[in-house]
Chains A and B, each alone.
Chain A
């Protein structure tokens, strides 16, 4: 092709694309039919959290396919938007879903900052925001009055670690060091552990905060004290496989316990044998040997080629939850306020993760499983793999643990400095 022709073709394509884009500007303003349920689903599908978003989508879609996208007569239309794990983008996309796609409620988000970005959008537009993943504590605690339409169907960071703190006491542990990622989720998870652990007689003697995304834990490992019974970690993303490996290589032998994300099914397939023995707490484990979970894991793996993580499970269960609400309304959308009230009133006895219901702040009360990483064969799969075997269950755990809600809320939100490290030497 001559240079001229090539240039002309490229320019024409560019022009055509521009015109096409312009033409679609006004489109997409259908109003929702009475028996239609339009859901706006926000998750990252590009960037560092793309796989989490993908898992979330797969979990929700798997449930939808099982019921043929029919929630008790309401035809479910779900629109997925990529919020790229950036709060400003999440806000824009949410607005698009609300104004242009006329969704009846929005759901999703992975990071705490996305949760904090979308919660006010829900208040402003008087629309329910269902959070299956975001674990930011305060959204259903001290900030609840600002965000009355937020329904959390996942977990809070401290919900699981409170239980782990109790478990650590029950194992006879007296002194524990904390190594937690230096950001809000790390603080809230560590705070939960420290509070419960110290209330039952334990002592947290050290708190180390590697920055989020740390690749070389060298400078932090040298600070870890040897005179502890265990090291409690809060690791996320790529930190989760790397920390146990570097910890072991540096010669540390004390047991590792941690927040669920330190060894959850998302990272577990890629962790080496140094993860074996790692004890973590989460509201789900793929190794739960209940009939419901067995079927879920087998089906998910056959469809998507991997063991489901809690990102998938929580969205599957959320879909089930919404379906239960729609069953009660006969497939008619009950309106935002009523929807939130009904979600709070609906108790699910049999989900993949076990029984689950909401407290009066819109946050789940559920089992917290203490899991240990073991290498074995499960569910008839051919190879021995790493699984989170459940070694103890704490039923009916709320976001406040055993504390009275009002007293709990009087204390400040867990932060880097709260609870203070009384026993740090």
Chain B
């Protein structure tokens, strides 16, 4: 005999199980709506095989005739042709040609965080058209951003499941104990079509900061201590995850996680707590550049930044013991450095810095030669009000996309070539890369 209580409990369990299953149900590639291709039942008989070349020729003639007719009609009416399933961009400056021996990235991925479900949008660099939309499962919020492999064909996202921003546990702190970050992966083919979104690697307690996929996609590095996250339509306040300041690397084949604690990192004064920021891989797939900041003096508002090269084949432990200093911000630097990524060959760092001028803040991208520290300016924005900025580089380290406020574009010859996309897809979130290639 089933009691009313049991029925009520069963209803609650069912509701909960369906909601949870819907959350984890990875959304496969959404094929655009298109006309069906009629299929003939059965096989073409052998006796009529000679019709094939004739039919093919007739088709070619028909297509040419239709094209001519269509072109005439278009010239008369100037009306648009059939709409693509995913609208493209009317403003898209072509990516400048690559130098000899260099290939241009063909795709980049942006995030639409205002949608009810966070969506990852694959776009072609040649015309900015969206070629695929990959939604994260419902209820999963982006944390740690997105990352791409060196060949810009495999993309990763870090997310955690929640229906809203986590509740503040106390004044100025947030409890992450109940949350777990999962890593998602999808591949893109030569046409820009996306494959299935799959969960990879083990879950990670708490929320993670910026992530970086290794060049071959076999490992994911992440900042375990600088967690901001994005919910539908807004960025939630960040904080420090459980376990303190650390950098971790997951081996996706074995599921093993190695962690390096970031205390006492030179040149920060002994006993100073440093906060790790971005991580980026060198082409060897073994060396990870870790940038970190610390306050120059206890009362100073400005942060100092340095970057160290970590040997990820070490078994974990102290970052200081397994790394060497690559670069540190000179004491009288006029820039306030925000982000730093290493080039695949390890010969330079690209940094994003802001500079206060009499007309407001200016965002500057600099390339710093290692180990000399000499820099050259890649791009300097007009002085304006301070807006959050971030940047991403492709697998070669040569091509850079800068996001400043709600504008994004690639940098070439000191200029920012704007990419048009809905504002929500390009918004820059502190610590979260919303665009990658």
Q: Do A and B come from one complex?
A: no
Residues of B within 8 A of A (CB): none
